């Protein structure tokens, strides 16, 4: 009984040591790098900083109901996002494995050994049959984390898990922007197609008029050929935009993870989609700290910093413990009789003496990796700052471009109308009318493109600012993925796990 008490006390002490020493590591103190950045965006007066301004959540930025429905379907069904979220689960499990290494792994064992020794090898000259049975509990090669090596590895795994989680949020944020942008592009190309068809109908009617004038000897063959070129050009535009609309629908189907139906995408022109809410003016540059890619880069830096501690700990001795307690007997029914108890306690000290420079190289590697992570973090911040500045500057320019393009479209429309009247009255040649028609058609299509750029610019700004993913009880993607799994377990289609926006 005395030996049993000693063994139990030893096991308890071994379990408490990592808890008492787990906070001690040789990792350097972490300090967040401060990249050289301006406090305001470089936007040529497009925006000024305003204290307390916050980036908005996508549900506040995207106000169009069909777009919200498409985003919800994508968050539930998109395969890239699902892989990213499952990578988070893998990283979380890895952290749990590293954390478990701080504690002894106790196993129950039971075994038997039956052996026969022939007479030629037996000391008694007779064959001998021996039996041995044992039952017990024990742990093997449990390392006392005296210098924080295991604790540093656990911290590294934790930071890698948090980095993977931030990466998943970045995939989620990108997906939201891609779905909204793809739907806008689809609506714009449908409007392009409608405009091209209208131009074709107009030019077909114009061709019929010129042909009638040619048959009556009023127009010449050159006018007829020029009229034919306008019809063929319009036909090419219709065919091109028809193909583009189909490609847009296919791209959107991949994003939402299911076929696109007409009910999902009712917009036939860009104006049918409710414009995005304006991003609040005066966002300070500090909002970049919430960007998922920057958060991920900082966690990678912290992970590299923690690994320096694990590498340094290799210079110091390590102590491992192996212990067991149980019973043993040469008969099964004697395992639990008095006097059958057995125990073992095997401490082992390992002191590195000569490693041919491998430990020094490991420390140098960990430091170089940390410095590389610092540079990557600083680059991520600088890139984010540039993206926001560029998007703000482009937004101010696009507003002026849309106004100018709308005025140009109106002017070319009037010019086309007057050139048509002058040709029909014999004042100008058909070439003048043809030039006016081409200018007007180009202006109309460019106006659609300019308006699409203006809307997608706001989406790009929302994404560049990192979105608004905190402040919710549960991340949207994780919630929808959970619902999708429940639906899958119940045999329902994945699409039913997404609730359409009302």
What tens digit of pLDDT does each residue of 465-493 get?
A: 887 433 343 444 445 445 544 554 554 44
Chain centroid offset of residue 344 CA: 51
Q: What angle do CA 53, 459, 383 make, to 5 degrees?
A: 75
Per-residue pLDDT, 385: 87
Nearest-angstrom CA–CA distance, 177 and 461: 10
Residues 6+ apart with CB under 8 A from 30: 301, 302, 305
Per-residue pLDDT, 59: 77
Per-residue pLDDT, 418: 92
Nearest-angstrom CA–CA distance, 307 and 28: 10
Size of the chain in residues: 502
> Which residue in 248, 283, 252, 241 sits closest to 445, CA to CA?
241
Residues 197 and 293 both lie in one domain: yes
Question: CB-hemisphere CA count at 13 Å for 466?
Answer: 25
First to last CA, the chain: 72
DSSP state, residue 48 = -
Domain of 462, in residue numbers: 31-49+67-102+145-280+289-316+352-497
Residues 330 and 405 both lie in one domain: no
Per-residue pLDDT, 67: 94
Nearest-angstrom CA–CA distance, 484 and 494: 5
List phi, psi (to 5°) of 88. Answer: -65, -45
Per-residue pLDDT, 499: 39
Is 62 part of a structural domain of the chain? no
Place of tokens 């299911």: 258
Final residue belonging to a domain, choices 351, 374, 403: 351
Per-residue pLDDT, 88: 93
Is 57 part of a structural domain of the chain? no
Token representation of residue 283: 């966002």
Is 411 part of a structural domain of the chain? yes
Is 55 part of a structural domain of the chain? no
Residues 275 and 339 both lie in one domain: no
Is 18 part of a structural domain of the chain? yes
Residues 460 and 480 both lie in one domain: yes
Nearest-angstrom CA–CA distance, 429 and 418: 12
Is 58 part of a structural domain of the chain? no
Per-residue pLDDT, 239: 96
Residues 324 and 365 both lie in one domain: no
Per-residue pLDDT, 486: 53
Per-residue pLDDT, 41: 59
> Which residue in 470, 473, 409 sits closest to 442, CA to CA?
409
Residues 197 and 128 both lie in one domain: no
Residues of the chain below pLDDT 70: 1-23, 36-57, 278-287, 468-502
Residues 118 and 149 both lie in one domain: no
Residues 113 and 42 both lie in one domain: no
Residues 249 and 115 both lie in one domain: no
Instruction: Give me the DSSP letters along 58-103.
Output: HHHH---HHHHHHHHHHHHH-HHHHHHHHHHHHHHHHHHHHHHTTS
Under a CB-based contact definition with an 8 Å cutoff, are residues 186 and 252 in contact?
yes
CATH of the domain at 179: 1.20.1600.10
Q: Domain total for the chain? A: 2
User: pTM higher than 0.85 for the full model?
Assistant: no
List phi, psi (to 5°) of 186. Answer: -60, -45
CATH of the domain at 339: 2.20.200.10
Per-residue pLDDT, 392: 84
Final residue belonging to a domain, choices 351, 377, 404: 351
Is 367 part of a structural domain of the chain? yes
Residues 240 and 177 both lie in one domain: yes
Residues 149 and 90 both lie in one domain: yes
Residues 123 and 140 both lie in one domain: yes
Is 77 part of a structural domain of the chain? yes
Helix (H) or strand (E) holding 230: helix 221-256
């Amino acid at each position: 009984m005395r030996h049993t008490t000693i063994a139990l006390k030893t096991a308890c002490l071994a379990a408490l040591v990592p808890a008492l020493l787990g906070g001690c590591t040789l990792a350097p103190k972490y300090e967040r790098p401060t990249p050289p950045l301006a406090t305001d965006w470089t936007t040529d007066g497009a925006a000024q900083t305003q204290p307390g301004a916050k980036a908005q959540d996508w549900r506040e930025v995207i106000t169009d109901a069909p777009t919200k429905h498409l985003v919800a379907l994508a968050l539930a069904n998109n395969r890239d996002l699902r892989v990213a979220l499952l990578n988070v689960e893998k990283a979380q499990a890895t952290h749990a494995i590293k954390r478990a290494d701080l504690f002894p792994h106790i196993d129950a064992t039971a075994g038997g050994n039956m052996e026969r020794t022939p007479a030629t090898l037996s000391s008694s000259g007779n064959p001998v049959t021996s039996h041995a049975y044992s039952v017990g509990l024990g742990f093997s090669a449990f390392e006392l984390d005296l210098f924080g090596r295991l604790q540093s590895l656990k911290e590294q795994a934790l930071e890698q898990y948090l980095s993977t989680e931030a990466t998943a949020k970045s995939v989620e944020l990108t997906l939201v922007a891609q779905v909204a942008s793809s739907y806008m592009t689809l609506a714009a190309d449908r409007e392009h197609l409608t405009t091209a068809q209208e131009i074709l109908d107009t030019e077909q009617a114009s061709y019929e008029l010129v042909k009638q004038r040619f048959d009556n000897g009023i127009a010449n063959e050159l006018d007829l050929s020029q009229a034919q070129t306008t019809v063929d050009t319009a036909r090419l535009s219709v065919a091109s935009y028809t193909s583009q609309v189909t490609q847009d629908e296919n791209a959107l189907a991949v994003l939402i993870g299911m076929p696109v139906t007409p009910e999902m995408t009712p917009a036939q022109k860009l104006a049918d989609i409710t414009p995005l809410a304006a991003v609040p003016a005066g966002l300070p540059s500090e909002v970049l700290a919430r960007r998922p890619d920057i958060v991920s880069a900082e966690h990678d830096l912290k992970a590299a910093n923690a690994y320096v501690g694990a590498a340094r700990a290799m210079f110091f001795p390590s102590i491992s413990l192996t212990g067991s307690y149980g019973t043993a007997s040469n008969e099964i029914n004697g395992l639990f009789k008095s006097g059958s108890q057995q125990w073992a306690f095997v401490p082992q000290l390992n002191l590195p003496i000569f490693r041919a420079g491998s430990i020094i190289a490991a420390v140098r590697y960990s430091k170089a990796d940390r410095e590389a992570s610092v540079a990557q973090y600083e680059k991520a911040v600088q890139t984010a700052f540039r993206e926001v500045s560029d998007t703000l500057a482009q937004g101010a320019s696009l507003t002026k471009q849309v106004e100018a393009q709308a005025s140009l479209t109106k002017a070319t429309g009037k010019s086309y109308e007057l050139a048509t009247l002058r040709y029909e009255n014999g004042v100008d040649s058909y070439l003048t009318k043809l030039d006016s028609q081409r200018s007007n058609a180009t202006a109309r299509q460019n106006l659609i493109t300019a308006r699409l750029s203006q809307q997608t610019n706001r989406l790009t700004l929302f994404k560049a600012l990192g979105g608004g993913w905190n402040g919710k009880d549960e991340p949207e993607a994780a919630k929808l993925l959970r619902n999708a799994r429940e639906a899958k377990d119940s045999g329902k289609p994945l699409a039913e796990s997404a609730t359409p926006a009302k």
